[in-house]
Structure 1
Amino acid sequence: MYLRAIHAETSTKALFELIQNNPLGVITTAIPSSAHHFIQSSHIPWVLDVISEDPDAPVKGVLRGHMAKQNPQAKAIIESLNTAGLPSASSLQQEVQILFTGQYHHYITPKFYTETKPDTGKVVPTWNYSAVQVHGKAKIYHDGASPETSEYLSKQIHDLSQLCETSIMGYTGQNGAKDSWKVSDAPDRYIEIMKKNIIGIEVTIEDIGGKYKMSQESSKGDREGVIRGFESIDSDVALNMAALVLERGKIKDAAKASR
């Protein structure tokens, strides 16, 4: 990921918050295989366990997820571990990458640049977005008969379902809200069958970086034009984009003023 200084988010806490608010991440692996693509990616939701918000900490957190065994990416992962003769819960030799994207992103038309466009015409379209990129080692739980794998998957699917039910759906059971769905609502035998058809993935976060590309590179006049442009669209995405451009512009201006 290109982390231009003006867009880079240097707070590990803020990067963790973006992940927690946008738990669907794309995991990418590069694993030699005779039957599957070398580079593969999959969208899966993650649970984040924070260890340290210190950017210099060797391990900053752990991401926990799971993937269907029928997924070609999972097949390549299992093939790699089996070929190496590794036990049922083992780390991949290759580094993995997980990419998270913020909920709100949008195309920026040059028509929004009300200062530079009329003056020089030297403007081009771009796209505003926020994202976090994680690199680390992945421990894989893939033997359905292993107690260690069973224990990991039980905790994983419980924690993930509760995260999504409460944080995303708002099913907290409090203040008139509905109760959340729980894994225990499904038959035990059914859950055991489901567990045997997935693998667990536990990624140790060794490096994390992210950005909010929200027109900070533009002049104050052009940023104000972008905000007005989004406000004129009057959609949920556009109004949230306007707020983000305003927020990130204030951060830029405050940093500039403090120098």
Structure 2
Amino acid sequence: MYLRAVHEESSTKALLEFIHRNPLGLLTTAIPSSQYPFLQSSHIPWVLDVISEDPDASVKGRLRGHMAKQNPQSKAMIELVTGSPSTSQLQEDVMVLFTGPHHHYVTPKFYTETKPSTAKVVPTWNYAAVQVYGKATIYYESSSQQTSEYLSQQIHDLSQLCETSIMGYTGEANREGPWNVSDAPDRYIEIMKKNIIGIEVTIEKIGGKFKMSQEMGKGDREGVIEGFNSLGSDVGKSLACLVKERGELKDAEAAKESK
């Protein structure tokens, strides 16, 4: 990921919180195989376990997820570790990319300061993303108790995260209670578990950015905010708030450095 200083988020805590709020990540692997593509990617919802917010820590957290066993990416990973113990670590790093829920094209017409004066503006795209690298351990042997226990815990934790944090089914303030894995028949869950593999990724390197027009002058940023608000959409309103927030952070940092 290209991390231009003006867009980069340097706080490990903020990056981990971003993952927690946006748990759907794109897992990418590079695995030599005679049967499957070298590069493969899959969208997976993850449970994040924070270990350390220290940017110098060797491992900052763990991502726990699961994938369909019939997924070609799963098959390539299983092929690579066949003959190893039932819990096996891939030797090469994997990458997981998380993106914010809202992103949008930015037309040069939004730049109310620079466009009228010099016309030296071009279109761009505003978005937020976090990228992590680390080692992946896969749990693929259905008969293994360790695999069974890992999958049971991961499925439970993921469903609780999504039911409560995303859907708001907390059982409080007249809200419905969350769906629980135990609501489904035990035998059915056991069958489902035999058709998935578990994957755990250690977060050894993390980086991210909020590309929200911070590189523009204040007048142009105000034009972008007005432009997004004028779209009359939830996406536009959300991005207008982010452009304002990130612009204010940039101005505050600049003021601090000038003292």
Q: Give TM class, smaller chain.
A: over 0.9
Report 1:197-212 matches (<5 A): 197-212=195-210
Partner deviation per Cα, 1:183-202 (whole Å, 9 max, x = no partner) = 00000000000001100000
The residue number in structure 1 matching 2:254 is 256
Is residue 79 of structure 1 aligned with residue 79 of structure 2? yes
The offset of 1:93, in angstroms, is 1.2
The offset of 1:32, in angstroms, is 0.5
SS of 1:212's equivalent?
strand
The residue number in structure 1 matching 2:105 is 107
- Whole-angstrom distance in 2 between the partners of 1:65 and 1:73: 14
Partner deviation per Cα, 1:82-119 (whole Å, 9 max, x = no partner) = 1xx21110101111000000111111000000000001
Of 203, 213, 216 in structure 2, the residue corresponding to residue 215 of structure 1 is: 213
Partner deviation per Cα, 1:2-58 (whole Å, 9 max, x = no partner) = 000000000011101110111000000000011100000000100000000000000
The residue number in structure 2 matching 1:164 is 162
Report 1:140-159 matches (<5 A): 140-159=138-157
The offset of 1:163, in angstroms, is 0.2
SS of 1:247's equivalent?
helix
- Whole-angstrom distance in 1 between the partners of 2:92 and 2:59: 17
The residue number in structure 1 matching 2:9 is 9
- Whole-angstrom distance in 1 between the partners of 2:207 and 2:239: 21
Counterpart amino acid of residue 63 in structure 1 = L
TM-score by length of 2: 0.99
Moved over 4 A (4+): none
SS of 1:75's equivalent?
helix
Partner deviation per Cα, 1:130-173 (whole Å, 9 max, x = no partner) = 00000000010000000000000000000000000000100001
The residue number in structure 2 matching 1:183 is 181
Structure 1 unmatched runs, 5+: none
The residue number in structure 1 matching 2:94 is 96
The offset of 1:61, in angstroms, is 0.3
Structure 2 unmatched runs, 5+: none
- Whole-angstrom distance in 1 between the partners of 2:216 and 2:33: 46
Is residue 22 of structure 1 aligned with residue 26 of structure 2? no
Partner deviation per Cα, 1:215-243 (whole Å, 9 max, x = no partner) = 00001100000000011111100001000
- Whole-angstrom distance in 2 between the partners of 1:51 and 1:91: 19
- Whole-angstrom distance in 2 between the partners of 1:206 and 1:162: 26
Of 125, 128, 131 in structure 2, the residue corresponding to residue 127 of structure 1 is: 125
Q: Cα RMSD (Å) of the superposition? A: 0.5
- Whole-angstrom distance in 2 between the partners of 1:160 and 1:236: 27
The offset of 1:59, in angstroms, is 0.5
The residue number in structure 2 matching 1:195 is 193
The residue number in structure 2 matching 1:44 is 44
